[in-house]
A and B are shown apart, each in its own frame.
Chain A
Amino acid sequence: MLPPTVMPTPSCAARRRRVARSAAASLLVVALALIGSAALGAPFEDTIAQRVLACTGCHGREGRAASDGYYPRIAGKPAGYLFNQLRNFRDNRRRYELMNGLLALLDDAYLQEIADHFAALDLPYPPPGAPAEPASTLAVGEALVRRGDPARGIPACNDCHGVAMTGRAPFIPGLLGLPRDYLNAQLGAWKTGKRAAIAPDCMAQVASRLTPADIGAVSAWLAAQPVPAHASAEPARADALPIACGGGDVRGGPPPTAATR
């Protein structure tokens, strides 16, 4: 069975219960701080952080969602990647109703500013929870991430997303600090065509070669890795990627339509 492409979205309360059950006290303190739906108690300041409280409601305070829920962290990801995803959601290439609705009437300039804001954040992350999968599954996941499977035309995740898996500027995201459910859902969505990027859609090609078991193993292993301190993306490099990606050429892509000006 394929991993579901749209994951259930646990409520904050459910997240809170799970964290309370499973985490150490120090983690609980961090997690509770993340759960706040707004800058609770903070006085109003006219800043970009204030303007994007709509994002941090789900993606965690300052955009560093914990790895125990569904929503991905966005703080510290490369600006080009975040900008691409914001545009993909606005233009319905990537589907998640709440994101599609929130971004529908925002223009490229504002989306770029939002992307730049979250990309520039350098925040400490809590350690991941212990994985529930057996060591054999995790070993399969680690092997695919580090070495890929050349026989099946699957490149290693590390080849593009960096040896430390913190991404590469400006367009390739880091893979750490993301919930297992989220990773499963994204790879499944690429495999079934529910998530798309600007063509050529490299991740859709990679995902099409992964089995559901591969996806489960990769997601489980990635979600169990800690986010290193100062997990910024590797600098941009000129060398070619093992597979062509349209998202890297976003500025040469189709011009924004009048609908989205």
Chain B
Amino acid sequence: MKLGRAAAVAVAAGAVALLLAAATVVWLNRDDALEPAPVPTNADAARDLLARGEYLVRAGSCLGCHTEPGEPAYAGGRAIETPFGIVHAPNLTPDTATGLGAWSSDDFWRALHNGRSRDRRLLYPAFPYPNYTRLMRADADAMFAYLKSLAPIAKANKPHALAFPFDQPAALAVWRALFFRPGRFEIDAQRTPQWNRGAYLVETLGHCNACHSRRNVFGATAGPLDLAGGLIPIQNWYAPSLKDNAEAGVGDWPDAEVVALLKTGVSALGSTQGPMAEVVARSTQFLSDADVGAMASYLRSLAPAATRAAAQPAVGGSGQTTTGLATTRAAATTATASTARDRGAELYATHCAACHGDDGAGVVGAYPRLAGNRAVMLSPPANLVHMIRQGGFPPVTAGNRRPFGMPPYATVLSDDDIAKVLTHLRSSWGQNGAPVSTLEVSRYRGTAAR
């Protein structure tokens, strides 16, 4: 029975390996130690704590996910669609039965820092605790104090609707073993306090990389410092790279324009649309000039002015660039392409030129300039597809109370028409962008933002 003994040994070895793996997963999911909670010393301090908490909750964009349109703020219920299924954001109001009423500040800190709920369940990382884990305990406590001060709303949490195996706690534990460790924000002593404040806001509360980075097949980013841009799953908007001045890097933007963009939704150099407009409306517009300036300072350091890729000639330039895109376009000079371009020009004249101008110059403060606009040249062209199909208004903010809007063309232009208009935009006024195919338009039109 030699074979029988060998099999028994193999089974035993396998069982030991499985146990070891499980033990490793459990060990890698262990909580980081709790820091003691500071206690406000008097009434003034308590009031300051609430004000600071509200400010930080806004900086954390908590409202966007934890509120359903038309429903009480922070009472949860909004469905967050992910490639793995739907996660429903829970009720953050202090209702005892359905919200945070029974939570302590230690419980709240454990959720933010360790990604673990009050009942010790592991939390899904749609809740951006891989970012929030680096929050300072004092900030988390202020946020908790503010949430506890809200009117309690009785609204039961909806269960998540995730596909198998992602709905299994073991799968989540393995995910966390692979991609999550509790962390702390490290101050870079070589940099200014302003830069460090900006880094803290971008990496922790702002959780900018939740959109502005590529996710692997498991839905994980390379970490809070990865801001190299990525297509947002499901929504299909492209969150451009913050490290590349040819995309959304601000290395060659004056601070004042970055501040204007994040505080008002519009600036002389660009405006927000889609998911970023929501971020401005619900979060960044409420930040102080000092904090937005700090974020600008940090973001500028990600994309030094010299790193601007040579993808875009100056406005009206001759397009002497040598990118891959330009090569693709040069190869497409067939009779068909030329007919398509004529049709694109015709559609532009009919539908776009009245506002954006024959010369693509737009109207300052109202309609974006399209000539020399890096948003027009982004690859993939997903955002342009959404803009043309859905139209939109920049968000109403304190600094832009009556925004100018663009009509939706989803019922007017076919995917083929949109491809031709986009190809026209990207090859006009000295620009040398790759043509956009009907297939690409069909692929990116996807789901609307909500």
Contacts and interface: CB of A to CB of B under 8 A. Distances in A.
Contact of B405 (A42, A52, A259): A52
Given A54-B391, A57-B408, A113 B402 contact: yes
Interface residues of A, number: 44
B239 interface: no
Contacts of A92: 68-70
B401 A98 contact: no
Interface in B265-288: 277-278, 281-282
A109 B401 contact: yes
Contacts of A105: 277-278, 281, 393-396
A97 interface: yes
B412 interface: yes
A239 interface: no
A55 B405 contact: yes
Contact of A38 (B67, B354, B366, B401): B354
Contacts of B219: none
B279 to A, nearest CB: 10
Interface stretch (A5-13, A154-162, A168-176, A225-233): A5-13
B170 interface: no
B70 A101 contact: no
A40 B277 CA distance: 28
A40 B407 CA distance: 14
Interface stretch (A18-26, A43-51, A210-218): A43-51
A104 B450 contact: yes
A50 B67 CA distance: 32
A38 B355 contact: yes
A31 B67 CA distance: 42
B233 interface: no
Interface string B344-372: 00000011001100000001001000000
A53 B390 CA distance: 14
B70 A91 contact: yes
A93 interface: yes
A64 to B, nearest CB: 16
Contacts of B354: 37-42
Interface residues of B, number: 41
B405 A107 contact: no
A191 interface: no
B177 interface: no
A92 B71 CA distance: 10
Nearest to A88: B70
B411 interface: yes
Nearest to A92: B69
B138 interface: no
B72 interface: yes
Interface string A39-81: 1111010101011111111100000000000000000000000
Given A102-B391, A104-B450, A53 B67 contact: no
Contact of A102 (B281, B350, B366, B392): B392
Contacts of B450: 100-101, 104
B392 to A, nearest CB: 6
B155 to A, nearest CB: 13
B448 interface: yes
Nearest to A90: B69
B407 A57 contact: yes
A98 B410 contact: yes
Nearest to A51: B404
A193 B310 CA distance: 54
Contacts of B390: 98, 101-102
B73 interface: yes
Contact of B69 (A53, A54, A104, A113): A104
B359 to A, nearest CB: 14
B401 A110 contact: yes
Contact of B411 (A41, A58, A106, A107): A58
B62 to A, nearest CB: 10
B449 interface: yes
B67 A258 contact: yes
A58 B408 contact: yes
A259 B69 CA distance: 7
B403 A51 contact: yes
B406 interface: yes
Contacts of A46: 366
Nearest to B408: A98
Contacts of A10: 411
Given A44-B363, A110-B401, A104 B278 contact: yes
Interface in B42-88: 63, 67-74
A258 B70 contact: no
Contacts of B448: 97, 101
A52 B403 CA distance: 9
A54 B405 contact: yes
Contacts of A56: 407
Residue among A50, A53, A56 with the most chain B CB within 10 A? Answer: A53
A41 B401 CA distance: 27
Nearest to A257: B73
Contacts of A110: 396, 401-403
A11 B412 CA distance: 5
A98 B278 contact: no
Contact of A98 (B63, B281, B391, B394): B391
Given A98-B390, A101-B450, A110-B402, 18 more contacts: A11-B412, A39-B354, A42-B354, A51-B366, A51-B403, A51-B405, A53-B405, A53-B407, A54-B391, A54-B407, A54-B408, A57-B407, A58-B408, A58-B411, A90-B70, A101-B448, A102-B393, A257-B71
21 contacts: A11-B412, A37-B350, A51-B366, A51-B402, A53-B355, A53-B406, A54-B392, A56-B407, A57-B408, A92-B68, A97-B448, A98-B411, A104-B450, A106-B393, A106-B395, A110-B401, A257-B73, A258-B74, A259-B68, A259-B70, A259-B282
Q: What are the 7 A-B residue pairs with the smallest beta carbon separation, nearest first?
A: A57-B407, A91-B70, A54-B405, A258-B73, A105-B395, A9-B411, A38-B354
